[in-house]
Amino acid sequence: MKNRQHQHRPASLRVGKSRRRSLYLLLLVLVASGLWWLLIHNSSSEDALPNPLLSWLMKIHGGAAMLTTFLAGTFLYTHIVNAWQQGRNRIAGAFTAGGMALIALSGYGLYYFDGEGLRGMAEWLHWIVGFSLPALLWWHIARGRKQRRETRKIVNFPHP
Ligand code: HEM
Ligand code: HEM
């Protein structure tokens, strides 16, 4: 079994340019609409009429959120399972996958949780994970690419 694995190229885990760029664009839309929403929401007084921009921002945010979970799903087999089986970039990958799961879970909370406790927790979790996500993804990608370059070097120039 071991020998057979050595004869084959490892299953690909590369992410195509268009999928990678779509992910960046969606994240940008999510962070920008979330941040803008927070700024308006926190600067308007309690008894003021709701700013119509708020609901537009959430319409955009919600749409981008659905597309993002859909896109993240396409990473599962071609990327996550293959990388995990090859033992590559597991720690940063697990954090990234965990971050994606937490942002979706807390997004669910924003829709359906009521009351101070649970609702407040979902909000904080959503903001903290949401604003950390771009940095987390950047760390994950930088680490993964660095590892790939190092593996290539070892394969091309084996030490005696
Ligand atoms: C346990 C989970 C994961 C593992 C083990 C993992 C592993 C890796 C590895 C090994 C690389 C470097 C690939 C290369 O050789 O270029 C990489 C890059 C990348 N990962 Fe992950 N990953 C995981 C989760 C995720 C998730 C959840 C996302 C986003 C939805 C993601 C998005 C990316 C992207 C966009 C790249 C850059 C690929 C490129 O250079 O073109 N990964 N990951
Ligand atoms: C896949 C990723 C994401 C999902 C599934 C998601 C989901 C949601 C959902 C369902 C809502 C409630 C919408 C509404 O009340 O109409 C929401 C609100 C919000 N999201 Fe996201 N979101 C994601 C990413 C992000 C990111 C990256 C940020 C970055 C800051 C963010 C910040 C916010 C903020 C500030 C709100 C308003 C929160 C509130 O009502 O207190 N979200 N999100």
How many folded domains does the chain comprise? 1
Question: What's the CA-to-centroid distance between 32 and ligand 2, angstroms?
Answer: 11
For residue 136, give every residue at least 6 positions away whose Cβ sits within 8 Å of its Cβ, in sequence order, or none: 92, 95, 96, 99
For residue 29, give every residue at least 6 positions away whose Cβ sits within 8 Å of its Cβ, in sequence order, or none: 60, 61, 64
Q: Which atom of ligand 2 is nearest to the CA of 123?
A: 41
Examine residue 124 and state whether it is found in any structural domain, yes or no.
yes
Examine residue 4 and state whether it is found in any structural domain, yes or no.
no
Model confidence pTM above 0.95 = no
The Cα 159–Cα 156 span in angstroms is 10
Examine residue 130 and state whether it is found in any structural domain, yes or no.
yes
Question: What's the CA-to-centroid distance between 115 and ligand 1, angstroms?
Answer: 37
Domain that holds residue 111: 20-37+55-154
Over range 30-53, report the average pLDDT.
92
Examine residue 48 and state whether it is found in any structural domain, yes or no.
no
Examine residue 50 and state whether it is found in any structural domain, yes or no.
no
Examine residue 129 and state whether it is found in any structural domain, yes or no.
yes
Here the tokens at position 103 are 């942002």
Q: Which amino acid is at 65?
A: A
- Predicted local confidence at residue 29, as pLDDT: 98
Examine residue 159 and state whether it is found in any structural domain, yes or no.
no
Examine residue 69 and state whether it is found in any structural domain, yes or no.
yes
**pLDDT mean across residues, the chain:** 91
Q: How confident is the model at residue 4 (pLDDT cuts 50, 70, 90)?
A: low
Instruction: Give Cα 34 to chain centroid, integer Å.
Output: 15
| Closest residue by CA, ligand 2 atom 3 | 65
CB 104 within 8 A of CB 129: no
Q: With a cut of 90, say whether residue 131 has pLDDT above it.
A: yes
Q: Check pocket membership of 57 for ligand 2, CB cut-off 6 A.
A: no
Q: Check pocket membership of 41 for ligand 1, CB cut-off 6 A.
A: no
- Share in percent of the chain as helix, strand, coil (round to 5): 80, 0, 20
Over range 145-158, report the average pLDDT.
78
